[in-house]
Amino acid sequence: MPPTTAVWDGYPVGTWAKNQRFATRTADSNAQRRQAGFPVESSAGALTEARHAALVEIGPGWCPAWDTEWQRCFRLTQNLLQDDGALPVVAGKVIVQGEDLGRWVSAQRFGGNSSCPHSNGSWRTSSESRRPGTTNSP
């Protein structure tokens, strides 16, 4: 997830990404209200199904269910693995851009975090069908 101040080729991509996450949370909230039998006053600002599908294809970096710190560590670890690095498993051994990836991986293994409810799972880079340390399928 880019910081809100990120700009790419003159376009404020950080603000755009933040707005997409907000729109997804709005759409999710509206869907939950409908399922519970409550009225939805407005769908303004909610993400459309077509936009949601396009974001799912991008990958998990936009997922509103994960905080930006988690997403940052995920991407750094994913990049490390794609560059033929080994999965860091010991805290303090692999520090990338100030993030202790060994500590983060250990937390994922023992924290039981689940897959993003907005992902189709196509972004995974390993043969594993779940995030490290989870026992639930996506």
CA angle 88, 91, 95 (to 5 degrees): 70
The region that residue 24 occupies, defined by phi over 0 for left and psi between -120 and 50 for alpha, beta otherwise, is alpha
Dump pLDDT digits (tens) for 70-109: 878 888 898 999 987 788 888 899 898 889 999 989 888 8
- Listed in sequence order, the residues at least 6 apart from 66 whose beta carbon sits closer than 8 Å to its beta carbon are 60, 74, 116
**Does pTM top 0.75 for this prediction?**
no
Residue 35 confidence (pLDDT): 93
pLDDT(24) > 80: yes
- Average pLDDT taken over every residue of the chain: 78
Sign of CA dihedral 71, 75, 78, 80: negative
> Strand pairing partners for 100?
95
- Convert the pLDDT of each residue in 59-68 to its tens digit: 766 677 777 7
